[in-house]
Chains A and B, each alone.
Chain A
Amino acid sequence: MGQELSQPDNSAGAGREIVLSAPREAVAAQAIAGQAIAGQAPSRQLAELPKDELAHLAESLGLDSTRFKTQQDLVAGVHGRRQLIAAMDRQAMLDVVRWGRRPVTINATKEQIAQEIARVRSMKFGGLSHRGLVVLSLLRGVETAEGDPTPLVVRRLKRQEGIFSRMNRKRRAVLGGLVASIVGESNPAPDYQFLPDPNAGDGNPAVAGSARPASIKDEIEESGLFGGISNRIKKSADQFLNQKLDEIEGRIDRKLDEIDRRLAEWRDKEIANRIKILKITLWASVIVGIFSLIYAYVTEYLVRPH
């Protein structure tokens, strides 16, 4: 299943190679996404991007583009972040995705997973594995080693958040609690499920799922009052639409099965009818043949001409 992929480290210039393990599909997707222009180094491609696109790319990878003064710095930052992501353990990244309940496919590339992780703003680290915590802290720009104890990593993450951000988060949490109590939401969140593979095409509902956060309170805490409520409304609408689409799909499937069954019945009936006609014709031919034979025998042999 796993496949090794060597990636040259061009920024260091020392010819160092990062060896990472990734599934075959992910490797193929990376190869397609990462090598848009064959024969050119990634940094060269990044440098050719417009400034706003580069800034957007940096933001999507969890970097603060305003901290980089020149475009060259930003290119170096994005390249460094990509290398950091490539060196990460994929399973640890998936741990963060499960914990953060972000919508990804099981065979998503590391960069896609990292982009989803960068959108996770939660500071409640309960349920997150240690390796996931390390990955999260690295992507949030906190210097962490694999061997660091969990409380230390959590403390560094909280310190990195900043006072105002923490205060804002607390305020949002209180607001979220109020809204949750008004709405009366008490349903526990279902288990996390990965999104179905878009290339599979079967749309198996058994693996399809949504990355719904645990509660509206958490959502408001992460995205603010309006952001949280609008996200919840959007997701509810999506769920409603998906449910309706599933119902319509099921109805169409049932109708198609019914048509198929009726066609098979019609086919059997038609063939049986044709065989019956053939049989009647053959019976008639044989009976007439027998009569004809008797007639010929009688006229030719028994009734002799004198």
Chain B
Amino acid sequence: MHVDFFDFFRWVLGTVVTIYATVVTAQSLYGWYVYLGGQERYVSLMRRYIMLQGLRLRIKTFGGDTLICILLTVVWILLIRAHQLVARIDPYPHSDGSRAVTTR
């Protein structure tokens, strides 16, 4: 059995990191949801204050970095697409029709 260690590392790392990040993010969001969903006076105050802070946030301050993140995401999607295209490349000459086309 042939194992491509680069592919193996890539997929394992990607899977572990994705699951870890998802779990940690979900936990954090749920914690905030439970805290801010309270009916106490000060929780309500905090809820409104956070909303106010959000409204007072200036997009211009973080606009450049956000744009870079969006462009990098686009590049990353294009790279995935490029990977798919490379995987479909048939390395064998099959002009005589005797060999099968490799597809993944």
Interface residues of B in 53-87 (CB under 8 A from A): 53, 56-57, 61-62, 65-66, 68-69, 72-73, 75-76, 79-80, 82-83, 86-87
A272 with B65, Cβ < 8 A, contacts A263-B53, A301-B89 known? yes
The closest CB in chain A to the CB of B93 belongs to A304
A292-B83 contact, Cβ under 8 Å, with A264-B56, A267-B53, A271-B62: yes
A237 within 8 A of B: no
Minimum distance in angstroms from B83 CB to a CB of chain A: 6
B87 close to A292 (CB less than 8 A): no
A286 close to B62 (CB less than 8 A): no
Binds B, one of A22-30, A208-216, A277-285: A277-285
Judge whether B57 and A279 touch: CB under 8 Å.
no
Q: With an 8 A cutoff between CB atoms, is B91 at the interface? A: yes
A250 within 8 A of B: no
- Chain A residues whose CB sits within 8 angstroms of the CB of B68 once the complex forms: 279
Q: Which of B6, B56, B65, B69 contacts A292 (CB 8 A)?
A: B6
Contact B61–A268 (Cβ < 8 Å) = yes
Task: Give how many A residues have a beta carbon under 8 Å from the other chain's beta carbons.
Answer: 27
Residue pair A275, B66 in contact (C-beta under 8 Å): yes
Query: In the bound complex, what is the Cα–Cα distance between A278 and B65 (angstroms)?
Result: 10
- Cα A292 to Cα B83 in complex, Å, equals 8
Given A272-B62, A276-B65, A286-B75, are A300 and B86 also a contact pair (CB < 8 Å)? Answer: yes
Q: In the complex, A278→B72 CA distance in Å?
A: 10
Shortest C-beta distance, B17 to chain A (Å), equals: 9
Given contacts A271-B62, A289-B76, contact A300 B87 (CB under 8 A): yes
For the complex, would chain B's binding face be called helix, strand, loop or mixed by DSSP majority? helix
For B53, give its contact among A264, A285, A289 (CB under 8 Å).
Answer: A264
Q: Which of B73, B79, B80, B92 has the most CB of A within 10 A?
A: B79
Chain B residues with CB under 8 A of A296: 83, 86-87
Is A305 an interface residue, CB under 8 A from the partner?
yes
Q: Is A84 an interface residue (CB 8 A)?
A: no
Q: Are B79 and A300 in contact (CB under 8 A)?
A: no
Check A295/B6 contact, CB under 8 A, given A267-B53, A282-B76, A300-B89.
yes
With A275-B65, A301-B86 in contact, is A292–B76 under 8 Å at CB? no
Contact A275 B86 (CB under 8 A): no
Q: Are B53 and A305 in contact (CB under 8 A)?
A: no
Write out the residue numbers on chain A whose beta carbons fall within 8 Å of the beta carbon of B94.
none
Closest residue on chain A to residue B56 by CB atoms: A264
The 0/1 profile, CB within 8 Å of A marked 1, for residues 33-47 of chain B is: 000000000000000
Given A282-B76, A292-B10, is A297 in contact with B62 using a C-beta cutoff of 8 Å?
no
A290 interfacial contact with B, CB 8 Å: yes
Distance from A292 Cβ to chain B, minimum over Cβ atoms (Å): 6
Q: How far is the CB of A296 from chain B (nearest CB, A)?
A: 5
- Residue A288 at the chain B interface, CB threshold 8 Å: yes
Chain B: which residue is nearest A305 at the CB level?
B91
Q: How far is the CA of A283 from the CA of B57 in the complex (A)?
A: 26
- The B1-41 residues at the A interface (CB cut-off 8 A) are 4, 6, 10
A-B interface, 10 closest residue pairs, ranked by CB to CB distance from nearest = A282-B72, A289-B79, A275-B65, A296-B86, A304-B91, A297-B86, A286-B75, A301-B89, A293-B82, A286-B76
8 additional A-B pairs beyond A264-B53, A268-B61, A304-B91, beta carbons within 8 Å, are A263-B53, A272-B61, A278-B69, A282-B73, A283-B72, A286-B72, A296-B83, A304-B92
Chain A residues within 8 Å of B, Cβ to Cβ: 263-264, 267-268, 271-272, 275-276, 278-279, 282-283, 285-286, 288-290, 292-293, 295-297, 299-301, 304-305
